[in-house]
Structure 1
Amino acid sequence: MKPQQFAAAQHPNEEVAALIKLLHDTGRRLEDLTAGEVDAVMDRRGRMVLLRRAQDHMRQNEAAKQAAILNALPAHIALLDARGYIISVNQAWREFADSNELQALAHAIGGNYLKVCDNAQGDGAVQAQQVAAGIRTVLTGTLEKFSLEYPCHSPTEKRWFLMKVTPLTDQLPHGAVVMHINITESKLAQYTIKRLNRVHAVLSGINALIVRVRHRDELFRDACRVAVDAGGFRMAMIAIADPATKRLVPIATQGKNKALLNAVENILSSADKAPKTMGVRAMREKRAIVSNDSQNDHQVLLRKKYADLGVLSMAVLPLMVANEAVGVLALYASEVGFFQAEEMALLTELANDIAFAVDHLDKQERLSYLAYYDALTGLANRSLFLERVAQFMRGAESDGHQLALFVIDLERFKNINDNLGRAVGDELLRQVAQSLMRNAAGDVNLLARVGPDHFAVVMPVVRPQGHLTRLIERWIDTLLKQPFRLNDTVFRVFVKVGVAIFPNDGADADTLFKHAEAALKKAKASGQRYLFYTPSMTVSGLANLTLENQLRQALDNEEFVLFYQPKVNLASGSPVQ
């Protein structure tokens, strides 16, 4: 168009419209003619038309707003185009890439994120390929969204991320928004809850055992089993200090193979190595000893063996009874850093519960022992002895043979006890018990202490022509000849023996024992060394008992009458003074 053509136009708007048409026809930019002073104009129909410069400015403003929004988000965000190229990233993405020394080109704008994932190698290759496949499903519209949790641990800390992929626009082909959200805090909380649940399961299971179990070794064995089966621990062990040697001895284990257990026992029996073990240290220091990275911890003496079996952390807790460590509970986990403060608080409670149970069961065993055994000599007491005699009597009746029961009295024992003291008397009883076990009973289950100075022996089988009298005389002579040394003084022991034979002298254990006591009493009264029971012994005893009861009854009823009979001298007739 020539300049004179502008003069033909009668209205300015018509001139502008003609100019716009001319610019569109020739491809020239309006802002070049107007020197950037005009952002928008009206077309012939009154519609607003943005010029290229204004359009660029608006796009820049929108981009700035978008960048500000993305940078304000804590997630690591990258925008991909339809081919997987990165077209935008936020500040969190750039900082994460810089801190982890990621490939600058691959993770920056212009890099192809899909190729990075496809070409990944090493431990994370499989997961990277899963990421690439997930992004492609969103880019192609196969899935509306894709997410994946994955670990991304650094040399100094453990981290977890959640990757979310969503479409960039609603229309295909579209790009994708890739967000990596740090979920480490929630993940650690989940792991903590999981670990605490495991410890709670062990605590609950073992406390149920404490209520039910009545024997210490059974409690230890089942407690280790619960720790491994219910608590998910790799191994468990309970060891107790030997009262005599003070050496820590494993009593129950679960998960340890024979080779490892032998290695543990060898170290605990070593005078040089045992004091350095976590178990002995826990007892000595009366506190829990923990290793949360056992394969790199020099306080774990067998760290290589444990690592080969999947143990990566361990804790050893003392079992405290009356402020003294009596043993240890050792737990072994397959995770590094398992034993944190919360877990140790629960495990300390568990160790205290086990220690309480140990103390309770020891007292129960002590009470049970005292109910059936003599604490001084370790022999069966009268109650247990009679139970054993009853069992032997049933066997004798079934097999058709006799049984003999002997009750033995130590003469003048009271004089020794009174004059030399109880400690000397107790030592004499212990030595006599050992002598009777060797020379008379031959089996500790056939011998008992049934009174302060009385012992009893049962002979389960008596054959015809068994020559019991010779046997008894040999026992007595052996005791008489044996010197008992007490406080550098040699004593000789004299004994009396009463004998009762089953079935003639009693059909049950109580009766047989009473008749043997009656024979002993008669032997002591008559001065004989031994006597066999005869029915007359109990008849005379019964008569004496009857007379005694009658006399007591007469005293209570005031039936005695006092008569006076004076003595008179027959020659003089005078009372004798």
Structure 2
Amino acid sequence: MIQRDSLARLTLDTLPFNIAVLDEEGTILFTNRAWNEFAGVGPQERDELVGVNYFEQTDADADEYAAQALEGLQAVVEGERDIFTLEYPCHSPEEKRWFLMRAAPLPEHDEGSVVVAHIDITQRKLAELRARRQRRELEHLMSRIDGLVRDVMEAVLQADSREEIEQTVCERLHSVDPYVCAWVSQVDLRTETLSPTAAACETFPDEAELALGTDDPVVRAAETGEPQAIQDTADARVADIHRTTLLDEPGAIAAFPLVYSETSYGVLTVAATERDAFDERELAVLNVLARAASVAINAIEGRRILTTDSVVEVELGITDDGLFFGDLSAAFECTLIYEGSLYEEDGSVVMLFVVDGADPEDVAAAAREHADVTDVTVVSGGDGEGVVEFAVSDPPIVSELAERGAETTAIVAETGQVRITLELPASADPRSVIEQLSERYPSTDLLLTSRQQLALQKAYLGGFFDWPRSISGEDLAESMDISPSTYHQHLRAAEKKVLASLFEE
């Protein structure tokens, strides 16, 4: 017999579950503290529930859960079931709640026939509902963009030009609901703006530049190298270009930097007419697409420089400390001339330099103390000149330029002054290379190359700037044994540098 002060009763009162003991007729013999509190019965009135018939209080006609509960309890009482469980909702106007009902028979020697427990499982049910909703959202997301991912990957790998990659990505994104616009922009350092280079939109403005330094998601993506999003343009001040691409309706905007290693190729922007269109999963998938496009663009730019004579020759000057060949040339007041690199099987790189004006052995000894040099070998030397191999884990400047699609054709370090000659695809902006290198080497500056100087000198002396002209660009190109387009690139680059030095003073 269950006594008020029994250990069993005290134990049941400590449990957070609603527990009651019923006899074979369904009459309540005992309720614990949690049951009474849920029923609104205080400690002084806790016996009020004893003697109430639980079966009669359960309205089987009220809902299907009540009918199932009554049927299950009676089956346990009659010995037809060893245990009965039922999950059911018990919502109030203030909150949603769910409970697990569990009924089991008592031993024959104990007073009562069945013990009933109601366990609050609200948190578990809410978690299940969240997981179910997230699964539906993920299925919806994948149904929308699974084909998109496949299409974009195939398209960018088959593209023959950067322009084709950008336009293909935009068109594929635009074909997916609810995206109404996808466009790519690149930084124009001359105007300090982001300017569109490809777009696929319902509507797109004629004037679409965005000024650098402004509080805009596209600008922030370009400047930080991180994806940016505005989930509801109705709650934000956005540029006119975004309102136009969204058809003057509220929506969402996401911007993804097109970056490979440290090289920036612009920003991919996607506009959707649904608010909160870009959750974390969708942003992650679109960012992967942007990175895939960046890798493809980098490969295209690198391949272009190897297959075309339409390249721009650029010469850079660097005086910063830290470049081992510059530091060594300053320490020994000598000249180091780059002859090329050898890539070893272990991943290290050997850079070959001709040393002029210093003992190669002395230069090698000093190089072994430099942080960037892992090993040094004097290949030949004598009388203040020789050839020295410098092993490095990552060739400075050369690897950085290669990642930007540039080929290093010459490096000369003379008493601390480093001159680097490189070739870029005709579509590349030399200023962007300078800007990126300047982050690591602040003294980086654009110099007039020997080819550019020769092109300018031939044009001036030959009468190209006279009116009427005494010689054509084609004739000047032939005299330098290069194509007319390459000659004009050299000439324009030289003109720009000369004018820049004049007007920037």
TM-score in same-fold range (> 0.5)? no
Q: Which has the higher strand share?
A: 2
TM-score range, shorter chain: 0.3 to 0.5
Say which one has the larger Rg.
Answer: 1
* Structure with bigger RCO (C-alpha 8 Å, 6+ apart): 2
